[in-house]
Amino acid sequence: MGNRYFEVLERASSFLEKQGIEGYNILFVFLERKGWTKTDWLLHLKEEVLPEDEQQIAEDLKKLTENYPPHYLLGYSDFYDHRFLVNEHTLIPRPETEELVDRCLKENLNKPLTVVDVGTGTGVIGISLKLARPNWHVTAIDISEEALKIAEQNAKCLDAPIAFIHGDGLKPIGDTKIDILISNPPYISNAEWDLMDESVRTFEPKTALFAKNDGLAIYQQLAEEAKDRLNPNGKIYLEIGFQQGESVKQLFQQAFPNKQIQIAQDLSGNDRMVIISSKEEEG
């Protein structure tokens, strides 16, 4: 009898672990490619592995050994119950960003609002908001034309009518007044390079990760640009690095002295969001 599924994947997983790479990645990619649930896996794991599956596992293992991210191998990533195309021109969406989307949706109803997503990448934030709040007019901006191509494909696949604009920060919208600004901008400082996972450093787009001024440059830009564009009762939702809460809060407090600025934590308890809203509403 030939190799069984669990033996092949167990070996592959151990091989990755010895290289200091997450061993579960190979099973994750395998199950995704097969369209198998965990239950399917339990039903099939003792079966003899098909030759084409064994070949695919070997190919995927080689790429994973080179620190190639599993989601780039698959070409997609799931976010907020939707499937999004990803490639090397886009960041892989993180679970923390789902919390930012969730927070924004919980605090704002489905009435007509003008919403701008800066640094949209794959489009996950803007598209997820539009699908949940059809009455919102959502514009998504990115400095990367390659990322916008993917975001536009995602919006088309998911039937989310959004305006996409190539440009830097809020400049492309001119004097348009907005109700909600939401952004997961590049916020990693160059000093944090050594702390990054090897797969992120090697394959994910640097312009979507790193920012000058200790990772604060884009927040400084958005605080300045939002001053004249945010409606009086407008809100801002920002994802931040876990050490940036106070710095980002101060930046926006200076720009919006009459607003309520709140630092919020993610499910892991790390500072992950800064939310700017009207004091009257917080009341």
Domain limits, the chain: 5-66, 77-282
Classify strands 271-278 and 259-265 as parallel, antiparallel or unpaired: antiparallel
The DSSP code sequence of 140-201 is EEES-HHHHHHHHHHHHHTT---EEEESSTTGGGTT--EEEEEE----B-GGGGGGS-HHHH
Residue 236 forms beta bridges with which residues? 181, 276
Nearest-angstrom CA–CA distance, 251 and 218: 11
Indicate the residue type of 106. K
Q: How far apart are CA 260 and CA 277, in angstroms?
A: 5
Distance in angstroms (rounded) separating the CA atoms of residues 274 and 161: 27
Q: Is residue 205 part of an annotated ligand binding site? A: no
Q: What's the token pair of residue 225? A: 């640009």
* Ramachandran angles phi, psi of 229, nearest 5°: -110, -20
Q: Is 119 annotated as a binding residue?
A: yes
Please provide the CATH number assigned to the domain covering 77-282. Answer: 3.40.50.150
Tell whether 51 is in a known binding site. no
What burial class does residue 126 get, using C-beta atoms within 10 Å of its C-beta: 0-12 exposed, 13-18 middle, 19+ buried? buried
123 is in an annotated binding site: yes
Tens-level pLDDT at each residue, the chain (283 residues): 579 999 999 999 999 999 999 999 999 999 999 999 999 999 999 999 999 999 999 999 999 999 999 999 999 999 999 999 999 888 899 899 999 999 999 999 989 999 999 999 999 999 999 999 999 999 999 999 999 999 999 999 999 999 999 999 999 999 999 999 999 986 566 665 666 677 766 766 666 554 566 567 889 999 999 999 999 999 999 999 888 889 999 999 999 999 999 999 999 999 999 999 986 544 3
Tokens of residue 120, six digits: 């949209």
Confirm or deny that 120 is annotated as ligand binding: yes
Instruction: Identify whether the C-beta of residue 119 lies closer than 8 Å to the C-beta of residue 142.
Output: yes
The confidence score (pLDDT) of residue 211 equals 54
Tokens of 254: 């200076």
Tell me how many degrees the CA angle 142-102-80 measures, rounded to the nearest 5. 70
| 112 marked as part of a ligand binding site | no
- Known binding residue 122? Answer is yes
Structure tokens belonging to residue 70: 């599993």
Query: Which of 89, 98, 173 minimizes the C-alpha distance to 138?
Result: 173
pLDDT value for 218: 84
CA 88 to CA 65: how far, in whole Å? Answer: 17
